[in-house]
Amino acid sequence: MLFLLILLLSLVAQFFLPWWSLALVCFAVAFWKARYGGQAFLAGFGAIGLTWLGAALFWHVVTDGLLSHRVAAMLTVNSPWILLVVTVVIGGVVGGLSSLSGYLVRRLWA
Protein backbone atom coordinates (compact mmCIF):
# COMPACT_ATOMS: atom_id res chain seq x y z
CA MET A 1 0.00 0.00 0.00
CA LEU A 2 2.66 2.44 1.17
CA PHE A 3 4.83 1.35 -1.71
CA LEU A 4 2.07 1.77 -4.29
CA LEU A 5 0.99 5.17 -2.98
CA ILE A 6 4.54 6.50 -3.10
CA LEU A 7 5.02 5.02 -6.54
CA LEU A 8 1.92 6.66 -8.02
CA LEU A 9 2.07 10.01 -6.27
CA SER A 10 5.79 10.50 -6.82
CA LEU A 11 5.37 9.63 -10.46
CA VAL A 12 2.78 12.38 -10.86
CA ALA A 13 4.90 14.85 -8.90
CA GLN A 14 8.06 14.16 -10.86
CA PHE A 15 6.37 14.72 -14.18
CA PHE A 16 5.55 18.28 -13.23
CA LEU A 17 7.84 19.36 -10.39
CA PRO A 18 11.59 19.46 -9.75
CA TRP A 19 13.27 16.19 -8.83
CA TRP A 20 13.33 16.87 -5.07
CA SER A 21 9.51 16.92 -5.00
CA LEU A 22 9.82 13.15 -4.66
CA ALA A 23 11.16 13.69 -1.14
CA LEU A 24 8.06 15.66 -0.15
CA VAL A 25 5.81 12.90 -1.49
CA CYS A 26 7.73 10.19 0.38
CA PHE A 27 7.75 12.21 3.56
CA ALA A 28 4.03 12.94 3.43
CA VAL A 29 2.92 9.43 2.46
CA ALA A 30 5.12 7.79 5.08
CA PHE A 31 3.92 10.33 7.65
CA TRP A 32 0.39 9.27 6.85
CA LYS A 33 0.68 5.53 6.25
CA ALA A 34 3.97 4.01 7.42
CA ARG A 35 3.87 1.65 10.37
CA TYR A 36 7.55 0.71 10.84
CA GLY A 37 10.80 2.50 10.14
CA GLY A 38 12.16 -0.35 8.08
CA GLN A 39 8.98 -0.57 6.06
CA ALA A 40 9.06 3.21 5.42
CA PHE A 41 12.65 3.13 4.21
CA LEU A 42 12.19 0.10 2.00
CA ALA A 43 8.96 1.36 0.45
CA GLY A 44 10.52 4.76 -0.30
CA PHE A 45 13.70 3.22 -1.63
CA GLY A 46 11.86 0.63 -3.71
CA ALA A 47 9.18 2.90 -5.12
CA ILE A 48 11.49 5.75 -6.10
CA GLY A 49 14.14 3.32 -7.30
CA LEU A 50 11.52 1.70 -9.48
CA THR A 51 10.25 5.00 -10.93
CA TRP A 52 13.83 5.97 -11.71
CA LEU A 53 14.71 2.56 -13.08
CA GLY A 54 11.67 2.48 -15.34
CA ALA A 55 12.11 5.96 -16.76
CA ALA A 56 15.89 5.72 -17.18
CA LEU A 57 15.58 2.35 -18.87
CA PHE A 58 12.85 3.69 -21.14
CA TRP A 59 14.98 6.65 -22.31
CA HIS A 60 18.06 4.51 -22.59
CA VAL A 61 16.26 2.14 -24.95
CA VAL A 62 14.44 4.70 -27.09
CA THR A 63 17.65 6.70 -27.64
CA ASP A 64 19.70 3.59 -28.45
CA GLY A 65 21.85 4.49 -25.46
CA LEU A 66 23.64 7.15 -27.52
CA LEU A 67 23.90 9.63 -24.70
CA SER A 68 24.04 7.17 -21.78
CA HIS A 69 27.20 5.65 -23.28
CA ARG A 70 28.82 9.06 -23.53
CA VAL A 71 27.80 10.14 -20.05
CA ALA A 72 29.03 6.84 -18.62
CA ALA A 73 32.41 7.48 -20.27
CA MET A 74 32.41 11.05 -19.00
CA LEU A 75 31.73 9.97 -15.41
CA THR A 76 34.38 7.23 -15.88
CA VAL A 77 31.99 4.40 -15.01
CA ASN A 78 32.29 3.24 -18.62
CA SER A 79 29.05 1.30 -18.82
CA PRO A 80 25.53 2.67 -19.11
CA TRP A 81 24.37 -0.24 -16.92
CA ILE A 82 26.54 0.89 -14.04
CA LEU A 83 25.21 4.39 -14.62
CA LEU A 84 21.71 2.96 -14.39
CA VAL A 85 22.49 1.26 -11.07
CA VAL A 86 23.99 4.49 -9.69
CA THR A 87 20.90 6.38 -10.82
CA VAL A 88 18.53 3.92 -9.14
CA VAL A 89 20.55 3.87 -5.92
CA ILE A 90 20.68 7.66 -5.69
CA GLY A 91 16.95 7.98 -6.34
CA GLY A 92 16.26 5.13 -3.91
CA VAL A 93 18.37 6.59 -1.10
CA VAL A 94 16.61 9.95 -1.32
CA GLY A 95 13.23 8.19 -1.42
CA GLY A 96 14.12 5.88 1.48
CA LEU A 97 15.55 8.60 3.69
CA SER A 98 12.65 10.95 3.20
CA SER A 99 10.11 8.20 3.88
CA LEU A 100 11.96 7.24 7.01
CA SER A 101 11.99 10.89 8.08
CA GLY A 102 8.24 11.13 7.51
CA TYR A 103 7.64 8.08 9.65
CA LEU A 104 9.97 9.20 12.45
CA VAL A 105 8.46 12.67 12.60
CA ARG A 106 4.94 11.30 12.77
CA ARG A 107 5.99 9.03 15.64
CA LEU A 108 6.72 12.09 17.76
CA TRP A 109 2.96 12.40 18.28
CA ALA A 110 2.25 8.72 18.65
Closest to another protein by CB, 5 or 49: 49
The least CB distance from residue 27 to another protein, in Å, is 8
CB of 30 to another protein, least distance (A): 10
101 and 27 in contact (C-beta within 8 Å)?
Answer: yes
Residue 74 CB burial class (10 angstroms; 0-12, 13-18, ≥19)? exposed
**Shortest distance, position 108 Cβ to another protein, whole Å:** 6
Taking the least distance from each CB to another protein, the nearer of 1 and 12 is 12
Angle between helices 37-62 and 21-33 (to 10 degrees): 140
Closer by beta carbon to another protein, 4 or else 73:
73
Q: Is 36 helix (H, G, I), strand (E, B) or coil?
A: coil
Q: How far is the CB of 1 from another protein (least distance, A)?
A: 21
What SS3 class is residue 37?
helix
| Site residues, another protein (CB under 8 A) | 14-15, 18-20, 23, 27, 52, 55-56, 58-60, 62-63, 66-68, 70-76, 86-87, 90-91, 93-94, 97-98, 100-101, 104-105, 107-108
Report the distance separating Cα 14 and Cα 24, nearest Å. Answer: 11
